[in-house]
Structure 1
Amino acid sequence: MGTGTKCLGASRLSGRGDLVHDAHAEVIARRALVRLLYSEIGRGASPEWLVASEDGGRWKLRDGHCLHLYITQLPCGVMPVPPSELELREQLDGGVNGCRDISFVQRKPGRGDTTLSMSCFDKITRLSVVGIQGALLSHILEPLYLTTITIGQLPDGAPEGFSIESNIDKVINARLSSLSSRLSASFKLSKPKFFEAPVPPKEFQQISGDVPPLTCGRRLVEAFLSLEHPLVTKFQSGELSYRAMKDEAHEYQHTLELLRKAPFFSCWRAKPASLDSFAVSR
């Protein structure tokens, strides 16, 4: 579970790996799942919902198990009235000018200091290609994909003519259809099914900002390095940068590069390399 509505502006980003740059609820919930994965794999015993893969000693999700995401409101970046199929095609054929259109990737809204974080809807689309595990876990885990995403209705109701199940479905389909099929063997285009839920109870709706937050400052990279796994031990001697460890996940990085070259994602701006070039030692 995760809650949050904020992300740091560009001037506040840290190159030491000690701050979470994007603290929207969807991102925090994904980080919580990643922490669970590290905890389960780090116990030494085989997790009941993971099974050994035939792919070089990695883990994979056990058959019959699925991952589901519930969000209490529309993710940022979802357009109230998506463009028609014709408009989507015209934007795809329109080259770089299409980057200003709402069906392409968007930065998250910020007050004053511009953010470098892409919208949650853009990140959900990205997870449908590279998986939710991230680069580090790709060393020891096959890609994990969401099977369903359920979104709670807005308390004031949805805009006229808007349907979560059909409208978001249409945009996801258009985005994924623009990708190349030359993905690495472990990866695939995995479109989750979208469902609409009733308005969530008040205790699960957005609350005022004067409630003290609960935080956890431990870095995920430390959890990765603590694993007693043959595919991790090569990173446990000497000193490496966080960037170098992520770059070593070659299949993941190749798939991410294909994603960024696709028409819908050509405006995705990677954060400066200096932000994750900090040294990591065990």
Structure 2
Amino acid sequence: MFSASGSFRGFRGASFAQMLNLPPTSGPRESSKHKSTINGPWEGDSVMQGTKSFRPGPFGKSKVSPKVLVEKYKNGETNALSLLHQLAHVLLLHLEIKETVTADVPPPLPVKEEPSISDSYPCRAFYERKSSVNLQIPHAVKDQLSKLINRHQEFSTCGDTTAAFIIKTSTGCEVVALGTGNFNSKEGVSSNGRVVHDSHAVVTARRSLMRYLYRHLLMYFSKNANLTEKSVFTPSANSNLLSLKSGITLHLYVNQLPKGAAQIPTKLRLNPFSITTLQVNSEISLHLLVEGKVLSIFSSTFDNSACETVSMSTTDKITQWQVLGYQGALLSHFIEPVYVQSILVGDSGGTEIRGMEMSVNQRVEGITSQLPMFYCMMRPHISLVPSVVTSNTGSSHLTYGINWSEGDSSVEIVDGLEGKTIEESPFKSGPALASRLCKAAMLHRFRLVAKEAQRQDLVTTSCYRELKMMAKPYQEAKHVLRAYLCQQGFGSWLEKRPDNGNFTA
């Protein structure tokens, strides 16, 4: 969460071409591409150098149906190129696969794609949604959410926007952190760390994940051998930090696309003279959440004098976590970066994940070489899966959100607009109604771990912000990331107010 007076301007570079690996707009370089086109019934004869051409034979249309061919492709019996040739033969179409040389010209820009013959067949995302591997995680999330809601039916409508983190091992998958919610606090920036400013589902689930990681660090540093063995952590062979045990992977489920650049217009394709570079940069740039609205960092409608606080969009935060890790600065004193291996998006019928792939993966492509040791750009596999919840737009608890992590005896209900626990919440930390996800609560857990780990340098440091700044490699990686995003033309990350983390308890 950031003050409205923070810097938000950035450079509008022509970075879209770099992100999609297009040829540069200057210099003598040439790039070679393969271009597939399906035209109408073949007429005449043409000869091109570097062109592979296929046309139907004289024996008429094949008796094999397109549906059978597509099924074989889905089952892995044929590859994509073979499928194209077979479909061309069955449908009596002329197929050319051209190896073209692109001249040194400005890169084409995206436009909405017109319907094509391939639209009538299942796409990769549709196939992945049906795969057995991708069904395990949403089933686990649905079961866990149902268990939590069934105990507290009065909050059954709080799960409209849901996110969860899942630990996967050879024995199965387990939901370890879960969050719901869709609001930012209307309050100004808290100086005592006891207000949760961003209560969007993914942010809530991530803070619940941090509570899970703290719990397992306490288990690891305990004097109990059984608890140490049950911890997900083990000493790293490459550093004096801990890392997740071999065979454990982390995955993120979201039941809808997060706010921000992930929700850019669907079905974009490269085509010359389509839309302006400014429009493209606006879509894939960093975004702000301002009083319930999502604005590009370049938006001229953002009035910083009229807003108490703003925050970066959820999509941008996921982009950051895939580089810095989901553990945050404080936990980086004890563990190596923790990354998500896959992001599964609940499909509500018309979901398109290309914007998510561009935002999370391609905006930071190539940054790893600039990062300090143990940090990298972790490219998650993004796919569609069944949605686990249905919309409850008429809910009276629209501003409420649920948080839970593995080991919690009950859920906590936070009013997103207030940034605090409600009186009726099954779990309350005290009469002040500060959430267990607030910064002050995280600082308390950090001190418990530092004491168990016998880290006197951390125990004697009292200020929250100072402890974060002491995580030098993490801070260096954050600086590199934000400079990289700005250099690539996606805008400048908002800076937090200096007094935001000066509390001690």
Deviation at 1:174, TM superposition (A): 2.3
Match of 2:284? 103
The one of 245, 251, 255 equivalent to 2:467 is: 245
Aligned equivalents of 1:253, 1:99: Cα separation in 2: 30
Match of 1:279? 504
1:9-59 CA distance string (max 9 Å, x none)? 4x5220111111111010110111110111111121424422111355321
Deviation at 1:123, TM superposition (A): 0.5
Does residue 121 in structure 1 map to residue 325 in structure 2?
no
Local SS of the residue matching 1:2: strand
Aligned equivalents of 1:250, 1:265: Cα separation in 2: 25
CA contact (8 A) 2:319 2:360 kept: yes
Match of 2:258? 75
The one of 194, 199, 202 equivalent to 1:18 is: 194
The one of 356, 363, 366 equivalent to 1:168 is: 356
Give the TM-score taking structure 2 as reference length. 0.48
Local SS of the residue matching 1:181: helix
Structure 1 residues 56 and 174 mapped into 2: Cα distance closer, same or farther (>3 Å)? closer
The one of 200, 212, 218 equivalent to 1:36 is: 212
Local SS of the residue matching 1:116: strand
Structure 1 residues 122 and 102 mapped into 2: Cα distance closer, same or farther (>3 Å)? same
The one of 235, 250, 258 equivalent to 2:458 is: 235
Moved more, 78-87 or 249-258: 78-87
Q: Which amino acid aligns with 1:65?
A: I
> What stretches of structure 1 of length at least 5 have no aligned partner?
none
Aligned equivalents of 1:14, 1:32: Cα separation in 2: 20
CA contact (8 A) 1:99 1:267 kept: no
* Bigger Rg over Cα: 2
Give the TM-score taking structure 1 as reference length. 0.83
Deviation at 1:233, TM superposition (A): 2.7
The one of 185, 203, 207 equivalent to 1:8 is: 185
- Name the structure with the higher strand share: 2
> What stretches of structure 2 of length at least 5 have no aligned partner?
1-177, 293-305, 402-412, 414-420, 422-428, 430-434
Match runs of 1:178-217 below 5 Å: 179=367, 181-202=369-390, 208-210=395-397, 214=413, 215=421, 217=435
Match of 1:132? 326
CA contact (8 A) 2:322 2:360 kept: no
Deviation at 1:7, TM superposition (A): 1.0
Local SS of the residue matching 1:240: coil
CA contact (8 A) 1:128 1:191 kept: yes
Match of 1:49? 232
1:58-96 CA distance string (max 9 Å, x none)? 210111111011111110112231665689xx99xx7xx
The one of 459, 481, 488 equivalent to 1:259 is: 481
User: Percent same amino acid among aligned pairs?
Assistant: 28
Structure 1 residues 279 and 146 mapped into 2: Cα distance closer, same or farther (>3 Å)? same
CA contact (8 A) 2:216 2:232 kept: no
Local SS of the residue matching 1:126: helix
Deviation at 1:240, TM superposition (A): 2.6
Local SS of the residue matching 1:259: helix
CA contact (8 A) 1:180 1:258 kept: no
Deviation at 1:274, TM superposition (A): 1.0
Moved more, 173-182 or 38-47: 173-182
Structure 1 residues 39 and 48 mapped into 2: Cα distance closer, same or farther (>3 Å)? closer
Local SS of the residue matching 1:117: strand
Aligned equivalents of 2:269, 2:466: Cα separation in 1: 42
Deviation at 1:115, TM superposition (A): 3.9
Moved more, 166-175 or 189-198: 166-175
| TM-align CA RMSD | 2.9
Aligned equivalents of 2:500, 2:200: Cα separation in 1: 19
Moved more, 269-278 or 171-180: 171-180
Local SS of the residue matching 1:210: coil
CA contact (8 A) 2:214 2:445 kept: yes
CA contact (8 A) 1:51 1:59 kept: yes
Deviation at 1:180, TM superposition (A): 5.9
Match of 1:142? 336
Structure 1 residues 85 and 261 mapped into 2: Cα distance closer, same or farther (>3 Å)? farther
